Chains A and B, each alone.
Chain A
């Protein structure tokens, strides 16, 4: 079910830094479910396992990440976790620019970054994905492009020569986290820009925010060199029911 570069590991690893060891571990677990090919490292708690952040744990996790990947994106939960990460980056002179700290909500940013890393994104792309999560996770936030969905007629080829299809969600739970991640990874693997009900098909958070339920119709549009293949793949994945039917 991986849609990332086949046989290749992700280029970017994630380091999740929390005051709580269990929170960091939980965020790793959640992100791993959506992006199994990405190296995710938890650096939570103090050296003795209490609440706080440990300089040594953070720097060890970053070093481990850099041994396995080209770069690393770090997410941190509260003020002093951010400061600890900044201190590590300061002391190591930013690891030659291979490591970036995201200004992003911890959980949403981690999930979005993990899916982008799984799709083969570089450090800048993974960082942008995490930071964009801050604008999309709040319920009721404006979604770019959402307005273009209604108004077009089913089955009509898009005016600009792109591809368009309508498909019905078959799995009862609809587009929840795991299927959203499957679609986002799938879309990221094509040289095409795909929108599902008007939102960016490569963004797991935007897909989840659609709140699409089982039985609901989705409009899939694509542009770019591989648009037709991408739209077909999305339709097949949705019709396949994500292994839940």
Chain B
């Protein structure tokens, strides 16, 4: 399975499906420690992304490269999500798009994409590991991807390593006390809940993994 523009298209559509399926779960997580709109916001954003992809399939020029798909996701999420996840994920996909002007991703290309996304999120949100944010899923995902790529794994296996690490990272946010974002207003009371942004990150990277093996 090659990671080309068709994969990027599948990843995006699968992301939309999975986010829709997880909408209530994400909203419930966010209701506990945030403003309760994460699931709804992301669902709206990814529905808009799919509408754009369909529109470009019927009318305009379809995205020719992986980077074009990611850029379309970025600009659409920024303008349609509303909450903090719009600019955060928007910037993540935008920075990811900058490093993937390639027709096809090799293992290091996957790492570069993930690194770009993490860099975008930290540039925008200024969070670090351990602050109970989506960085707690992205950072382990990047670390695991690097290790896998350096160990000679295939591009699809690099994605799988990243997705598994993101899921574990999301789970590890449960005991953390939030010091960034809306959850930080709750202080100690934010402990005991899984971070919604880290959870949606795991969902998106699992979709990337599954789109590579579908």
Contact A83 B87 (CB under 8 A): yes
Q: Mark A43-71, 1 if CB is under 8 A from B, else 0.
A: 00011001111111000000000000000
B87 is contacted by which of A51, A56, A80 (Cβ under 8 Å)? Answer: A80
**A203 contacts the other chain (Cβ, under 8 Å)?**
no
* Interface residue count on the B side (C-beta < 8 Å): 20
Contact B87 A87 (CB under 8 A): yes
Contact B41 A83 (CB under 8 A): no
Decide: A50 near B87, CB < 8 A? Known: A83-B125, A87-B124.
no
Report whether over half of chain A's contact residues are helix, strand or loop; otherwise say mixed. helix
**A92 contacts the other chain (Cβ, under 8 Å)?**
no
Contact B87 A86 (CB under 8 A): yes
Closest-CB distance, A28 to chain B (whole angstroms): 21
**A79 contacts the other chain (Cβ, under 8 Å)?**
yes
**Alpha-carbon distance between A46 and B37 when the two chains are bound, in angstroms:** 13
User: Which residues on A sit within 8 Å (CB–CB) of B125?
Assistant: 83
**B109 contacts the other chain (Cβ, under 8 Å)?**
no
**B175 contacts the other chain (Cβ, under 8 Å)?**
no
B80, B82, B84: residue with the most chain A Cβ atoms closer than 10 Å: B82
User: Which residues on A sit within 8 Å (CB–CB) of B37?
Assistant: 51-52
**B150 contacts the other chain (Cβ, under 8 Å)?**
no
Closest-CB distance, B197 to chain A (whole angstroms): 11
B86 is contacted by which of A50, A55, A91 (Cβ under 8 Å)? Answer: A55
**B65 contacts the other chain (Cβ, under 8 Å)?**
no
User: Which residues on B sit within 8 Å (CB–CB) of A79?
Assistant: 84, 181-182
Closest-CB distance, B92 to chain A (whole angstroms): 11
B91 is contacted by which of A51, A52, A87 (Cβ under 8 Å)? Answer: A87
User: Which residues on B sit within 8 Å (CB–CB) of A50?
Assistant: 82
**A142 contacts the other chain (Cβ, under 8 Å)?**
no
**Alpha-carbon distance between A84 and B86 when the two chains are bound, in angstroms:** 8
**B79 contacts the other chain (Cβ, under 8 Å)?**
yes
**A90 contacts the other chain (Cβ, under 8 Å)?**
yes
A50, A51, A80: residue with the most chain B Cβ atoms closer than 10 Å: A80
Closest-CB distance, A165 to chain B (whole angstroms): 49
**Alpha-carbon distance between A50 and B86 when the two chains are bound, in angstroms:** 15
User: Which residues on B sit within 8 Å (CB–CB) of A80?
Assistant: 83-84, 86-87
Contact B82 A90 (CB under 8 A): no
Contact B82 A56 (CB under 8 A): no
Decide: A90 near B80, CB < 8 A? Known: A79-B181, A79-B182, A83-B125.
no
**B49 contacts the other chain (Cβ, under 8 Å)?**
no
**B78 contacts the other chain (Cβ, under 8 Å)?**
yes
Contact A52 B79 (CB under 8 A): no
Within A80-126, the residues touching B (CB, 8 Å) are: 80, 83-84, 86-87, 90-91
**Alpha-carbon distance between A53 and B35 when the two chains are bound, in angstroms:** 14
User: Which residues on B sit within 8 Å (CB–CB) of A84?
Assistant: 78, 86-87
A86 is contacted by which of B41, B75, B124 (Cβ under 8 Å)? Answer: B124
A83 is contacted by which of B79, B80, B88 (Cβ under 8 Å)? Answer: B88
Within B47-92, the residues touching A (CB, 8 Å) are: 75, 78-84, 86-88, 90-91
B78 is contacted by which of A46, A51, A87 (Cβ under 8 Å)? Answer: A87
Closest-CB distance, A217 to chain B (whole angstroms): 44
Contact B83 A52 (CB under 8 A): yes
A87 is contacted by which of B80, B90, B181 (Cβ under 8 Å)? Answer: B90
Contact A90 B91 (CB under 8 A): yes
User: Which residues on B sit within 8 Å (CB–CB) of A83?
Assistant: 84, 86-88, 124-125
User: Which residues on A sit within 8 Å (CB–CB) of B41?
Assistant: 52
Contact A55 B78 (CB under 8 A): yes
Q: Mark A20-58, 1 if CB is under 8 A from B, else 0.
A: 000000000000000000000000001100111111100
User: Which residues on B sit within 8 Å (CB–CB) of A51?
Assistant: 37, 82
**Alpha-carbon distance between A47 and B124 when the two chains are bound, in angstroms:** 22
Contact surface of A with B, Cβ cutoff 8 Å: 46-47, 50-56, 79-80, 83-84, 86-87, 90-91
Q: Which 5 A-B pairs have the closest CB atoms?
A: A52-B82, A80-B84, A83-B87, A55-B79, A46-B82
18 new A-B contacts at CB < 8 Å, known A80-B86, A84-B78: A47-B79, A50-B82, A53-B86, A56-B79, A79-B181, A80-B83, A80-B84, A83-B84, A83-B124, A84-B87, A86-B87, A87-B87, A87-B90, A87-B124, A90-B94, A91-B75, A91-B78, A91-B94
